[in-house]
Amino acid sequence: MMTTRAEGVGFRSERGPVLIALMLSTGLVAIDSTIVATAVPSIVRDVGGFSSFPWLFSAYMLAQAVSVPIYAKLSDMAGRKPIILTGIGLFLLGSILCGLAWSMPALIAFRVVQGLGAGAVLPVSITIAGDIYSVAERAKVQGYLASVWAVSSVVGPTLGGVFSSLGIWRGIFLVNVPLCLLAGWMLVRAFHEDIERTKHRVDYLGAGLLTFSLSLILLGALEGGQGWAWDSPTSIAVFAVGAVGLAIFLLVERRAAEPVLPPWVLSRRLLATTTFISFGVGAVILGLTSYVPTFLQGALATSPVIAGLSLAALTIGWPISASQSGRLYLRIGFRATAMIGILVTVIGSVVLALTAYTPNPVLVAASCFIVGLGLGLVATPTLIAAQSSVEWNERGVVTGTNLFARSIGSALGVAVFGAVANAIYAGSPNSHTDPQTVVTASAAVFLAVLFAAVLTVAAVLAMPSAVRGPAPDKADAHAPGRSAPPAEP
């Protein structure tokens, strides 16, 4: 009977170098998500293209989101190591090209390369953690990985501000170069996996259809109400063609020998419910991330630093609860732990919505911290429950689907919340500079975030009640720095 090795979780353990490499890899994506925004004014002054700068974020998000399921499937076929190294290599290439960009269109194109790299790095990092750590250990490990986002929420904007103030915005991309090289070197040295080399049939048609259809749907969600009206012919056509492409993709996957997104992912109750939960988590995160800074700066004229720190409370609360969630799910089960977490999230969202008309940075930070605590108890246990329900050769797809759902939830959440805010802004002159209008629009968005959290409660309730964390003496710990081999057919 195997016992857990909780005492071996940490930087000094045998698996410590792999954990550090995974944190560095995650840090590449985490810092990039916050560092670019602060440098936009400097970038526009240098290369122009003010009207196109939102695509610096949209293009990156599109490339990352649509590539996640493909990389996840490939990691189950070829192993984790070659896929994550490919992702780091693409991110490195994209970062160098972004640092050399001569125009806004070129910079946007190179951001796509970065996004394709990020699409491999994040899901495969989490999958590797699921491979080399036992179920009892994974919560603490996920806490380490989540803490990277907390640190990045402070370091990213700070570095971006420093580079911008020095007039060297290209440094925000070139700083990734040593991080990529270090992460790649550590993975090559420390992470080894034994996989059964078998011949696979790559689902090229499915991958192409998935990329095409999801790109259109996400494009419609990101640009709806911004680049074109929701009811415009362009918007309708984009969504319609995307939906048709997705329907064809589902038909193709039913006949594919090794589908890139197997139908069983959503036919199993546990996987379906955890996927919908991740979708809701993504919506809540982006709703707060997108509108809390605008709310504080527009309503109270607070500095960007204060607004950013108030939001950072969200990413501080998450790793704290995520790292401790193992104590709960080992005792009361995955669903009960997730239910506690989503109820805490609802409480934080209620406080934020109720206090929106009396804006206060301290109250906003406290509300975000509560929401972060709740999300840490939701996202980590449900992801670990999904990973633990499948074998090695299915874990990549399951992890990728979970993170992909979070990306879709974020994109669609931003679209819906943006439509809510814009409907209020449209009815007021000088809306974006009028503090009262900003308060009204932000309050409406926070109510929409609360609604998304309440809907996620229903998904948690739908999780199988029998799903529990394993007893500590039955954990599936693997050899240090080595992933489990594929299950025998």
Please answer whether residues 402 and 369 qualify as being in contact, where contact means their C-beta atoms are separated by less than 8 angstroms. no
How many whole angstroms separate alpha carbon 381 and alpha carbon 139? 7
- pLDDT for 471: 43
| DSSP element (H, E) containing 144 | helix 135-165
Amino acid at position 120, single letter: A
- pLDDT for 488: 31
Domain boundaries, the chain: 8-191, 204-257, 262-470
CA nearest to 207, candidates 112, 405, 91, 66: 66
- pLDDT for 395: 86
- pLDDT for 204: 80
Distances in Å between the alpha carbon of 18 and those of 9, 259, 399, 406, 407?
Answer: 11, 30, 18, 25, 26
Residue 434, burial from CB neighbour count under 10 angstroms (0-12, 13-18, 19+): middle
The DSSP line for 396-445 is HHHHHHHHHHHHHHHHHHHHHHHHHHHHHHTTSTTGGG-HHHHHHHHHHH
Per-residue pLDDT in tens (0 to 9) along the chain, 489 residues: 333 343 466 666 678 888 899 999 988 888 887 777 667 767 877 887 656 666 777 788 888 888 888 888 888 888 889 999 999 999 999 999 999 988 888 998 999 999 999 999 988 998 898 888 888 788 788 778 888 887 887 787 778 777 877 778 888 898 899 999 999 999 998 888 776 666 667 778 888 888 888 888 878 877 777 677 778 888 889 999 999 998 998 888 888 777 877 878 878 899 999 999 999 998 898 888 778 877 887 778 777 667 777 777 888 888 888 888 888 888 888 999 999 999 999 999 999 999 988 888 889 889 999 999 999 999 989 998 998 888 877 888 888 888 888 888 887 887 788 778 877 877 666 655 677 888 888 889 899 999 999 999 999 999 987 555 444 434 443 333 444 433 332
Global confidence as pTM: 0.80
Tokens matching residue 88: 């780091």
- pLDDT for 93: 96
| DSSP element (H, E) containing 192 | strand 192-193
* CATH of the structural domain 8-191, one choice from 1.20.1250.20, 1.25.40.10, 3.20.20.100, 3.40.1710.10: 1.20.1250.20
**In this structure, CATH architecture of domain 262-470:** Up-down Bundle (1.20)
How many whole angstroms separate alpha carbon 274 and alpha carbon 401? 10
- Tell me whether the CATH fold assigned to 8-191 matches the one assigned to 262-470: yes
